[in-house]
Structure 1
């Protein structure tokens, strides 16, 4: 059975250092109004980053296989939290933005669909607890 193991160590104040299964480290912190210094990623924000990272890796991998170059690609993920504690995401908006001239829109859409429907495990986990809304946007310029 495959598994991932991370170790998270308390540093100071409200800050922690966590590692990844590949050995990279990241800081976790919170806002000053919650006793932190904003010197690291927030735990819920890390979840949104994990979603973007997982699907982004899928899309780049698939597009490379299709020999479809994308000059610029970004994802904007917005999580809407419940009002009551424990605050959880009830809706998450994942918007893909592809920039460039002569984009191979059909191949890009296929890569997004493959990630969303077949490959992205993090996306599947999000579907278990929130309404996930996906948008794909094509922009002719790179800015």
Structure 2
């Protein structure tokens, strides 16, 4: 049987919602003041980008541990272009991985990112259905 995820999203009034997660945690979604909200929550399309970066980041963090790589930290900058026509959708998305450390093994880190992008990250596989995807690695020696 295929696994499933279930979330419940509750309207809080105005343009605000509260959504849960299978982890049991909750978060707020709200529109910007320009769009009638109070700007007190996360934006839905940006959440998609956070999900993409989070999915790939979890893969890479796991691979860093498995490969026993010396990395003091990393972050992911996700940039996305929206279509002009409505409904606006992402057409081009890039993830830029920034790795920090003293003895970065660039080849193995690039391999970890590649494995996530091509094999493990289900969110990236879904994004490929509607957007051109790109991944770049940056290395910052400390």
The TM-score bracket by the shorter chain reads over 0.9
TM-score of the superposed pair, with normalisation by structure 1 = 0.95
Kept in 1, the 8 Å contact 2:70–2:102? The answer is no
Residue in 1 that maps onto 2:96: 95
Equivalence map 1:64-83=2 (5 Å): 64-83=65-84
CA distance in 2, matches of 1:62, 1:54: 13
Name the CA distance, whole Å, in 1 between partners of 2:71 and 2:49: 23
Alignment of 1:54-65 (within 5 A): 54-65=55-66
Select between 126-135 and 97-106 the one with higher mean Cα deviation: 97-106
Partners in 1 of 2:32 and 2:85 — Cα distance? 19
2: distance between equivalents of 1:13 and 1:24? 22
Following TM superposition, by how much is the alpha carbon of 1:69 offset from its aligned partner in structure 2, in angstroms?
2.8
Cα separation, 2, equivalents of 1:117 and 1:133? 11
Aligned match of 2:128: 127
Q: How much does 1:51 deviate? A: 0.2
* d(CA) in 2 for partners of 1:124, 1:78: 17
Answer with 11-20 or 46-55: which moved more: 11-20
Post-superposition Cα deviations, 1:85-113, rounded to whole Å, max 9, x if no partner, equal: 10000111111110122111122111101
Deviation (angstroms), 1:22: 1.5
- How much does 1:140 deviate? 1.4
Structure 2: which 5+ residue stretches go unaligned? none
SS at 1:68 equivalent: coil
The question of whether the paired residues in 1 share the 8 Å contact of 2:64 and 2:112 is answered with yes
Output the aligned Cα RMSD: 0.9
Gaps of 5+ in 1: none
Q: Distance in 2 between matches of 1:69 and 1:23?
A: 33
Segments of 4+ moved more than 6 angstroms? none
Determine whether 1:18 maps to 2:19.
Answer: yes
Q: Residue 12 of structure 1: CA displacement?
A: 2.1
Count of aligned residue pairs for this structure pair: 141
SS of residue in 2 equivalent to 1:98: strand
